[in-house]
Chain A
Amino acid sequence: SYELTQPPSVSVSPGQTARITCSGDALPKQYSYWYHQKPGQAPVLLIYKDSERSSGIPERFSGSSSGTTVTLTISGVQAEDEADYYCQSTDNSGTYWVFGGGTKLTVL
């Protein structure tokens, strides 16, 4: 079955830039989506169609795509950005949705 691969953890200091990658064979063909999830809360959609910010999401969150890898970039990381981040996409057929394994962002 199709898989999306994310690093388990990323750590950055406040004010720095965090980059979280997501790799998958179908990503050149299918859009990616990014969510974050804080403890005890439902996930929140941050980015859709690789690079579009969802309504109400701060400009410091951005998405990009290059080949089989998509990247979520958080510029000027704030303490409140500490959360789990998940990428999402579909397989080549566009039928089956898949989430990446998640990346825990730690703000040092």
Chain B
Amino acid sequence: EVQLVQSGAEVKKPGESLNISCKGSGYSFTTNWIGWVRQTPGKGLEWVGIIYPGDSDTRYSPSFEGQVTISADKSITTAYLHWSSLKASDTAMYYCVRRHDTYWGFAYWGQGTLVTVSS
């Protein structure tokens, strides 16, 4: 069974750094794209970016390029979303996502990590 298990909720101050994680299991982590989707309070979904753990090929939404860093550690089948300097506007729920084995479309979703940035 494919599972994406995300790290717990975070409360941070503006300017702080943060890593949130997503551990994949039940499938070949190395050969499947894994990505991140943001949902701000009461708002819609936004695609952040995606990484292919096999060769670390990474693509970012133009809206998030330079604002976050996506990485993956194959040895522990875990993907990360990193901020070097958080802003209040980063407050949101973040989901990790994986495509289906045979077609695009995010068939698998983590449970979400709530990030709150407040002074």
Chain A residues within 8 Å of B, Cβ to Cβ: 1, 31, 33, 35, 37, 42-45, 48-49, 52, 54, 84, 86, 88, 95-102
Please name 18 further chain A to chain B contacts, defined as beta carbons within 8 Å, in addition to the given A43-B95, A97-B61, A99-B44, sorted by A numbering. Answer: A1-B62, A35-B45, A42-B112, A43-B37, A43-B106, A44-B109, A48-B100, A48-B104, A49-B103, A49-B105, A86-B45, A88-B45, A88-B47, A88-B106, A97-B47, A99-B37, A99-B45, A102-B45
Q: Are B104's CB and A33's CB within 8 A?
A: yes
Q: Is there a chain A Cβ closer than 8 Å to B63's Cβ?
A: yes
What is the 8 Å Cβ interface bit string for chain B, positions 79-112, against chain A (1 contact, 0 not)? 0000000000000000100001001111101111
Q: Are B47's CB and A98's CB within 8 A?
A: yes
Q: Is there a chain A Cβ closer than 8 Å to B46's Cβ?
A: yes
Closest-by-CB residue of B relative to A100 is B44
Instruction: Label chain A's interface by main secondary structure.
Output: strand
A42 to B109, CA, bound (A): 7
Q: Is there a chain A Cβ closer than 8 Å to B13's Cβ?
A: no
- Residues on B with C-beta less than 8 A from A48 are 100, 103-105, 107
